[in-house]
């Protein structure tokens, strides 16, 4: 997406693409969580989405932040931030998935 022309609907700035690659690499290298679906959020962010037992999770990555929005099948919603001027904390994210969905996430 970062290689597309800037006026393309699916163009993504290099900073966001690099952040998304780094987040995904941490998750894939340290877990057995399946590869997520990818959504371009209008060129301003990228979202990884997972179906997990008990609901859905969206990991949103923009130029400055990484945060997650989780919704259970019962309609409960949770939002958590995983950066605050620091590196993405994959373990905190995976623990949140496990806690919120009572999912067994192997590491």
Q: Which domains does the chain have, with CATH numbers?
A: 14-101 (3.10.450)
Q: What is the pLDDT of residues 43-99, one digit of tens each?
A: 789 999 988 777 888 989 988 888 888 888 899 998 888 876 677 777 787 777 667
Question: Could you tell me how far CA 53 lies from the centroid of its own chain?
Answer: 17
Query: Residue range 20-30: average pLDDT?
Result: 82
pLDDT of residue 107: 47
| 10-22 pLDDT per residue, tens | 788 888 888 888 8
Residue of 33, 41, 36, 31 whose CA lies nearest to 11: 41
pLDDT of 48: 92
DSSP label at 86?
A: S
The pLDDT assigned to 37 comes to: 92
Q: What is the pTM of this model?
A: 0.76
């Amino acid at each position: 997406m970062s290689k597309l022309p800037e006026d393309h609907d699916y163009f993504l700035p290099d900073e966001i693409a690099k952040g998304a690659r780094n987040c995904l690499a941490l998750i894939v290298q340290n877990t057995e969580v399946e590869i997520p679906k990818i959504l371009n959020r209008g060129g301003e962010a990228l979202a990884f989405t997972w179906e997990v037992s008990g609901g859905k999770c969206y990991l949103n990555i923009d130029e400055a932040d990484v945060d997650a929005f989780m919704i259970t099948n019962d309609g409960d919603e949770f939002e958590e931030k995983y950066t605050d001027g620091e590196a993405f904390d994959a373990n905190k994210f995976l623990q949140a998935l496990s806690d919120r969905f009572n999912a067994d996430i192997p590491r």
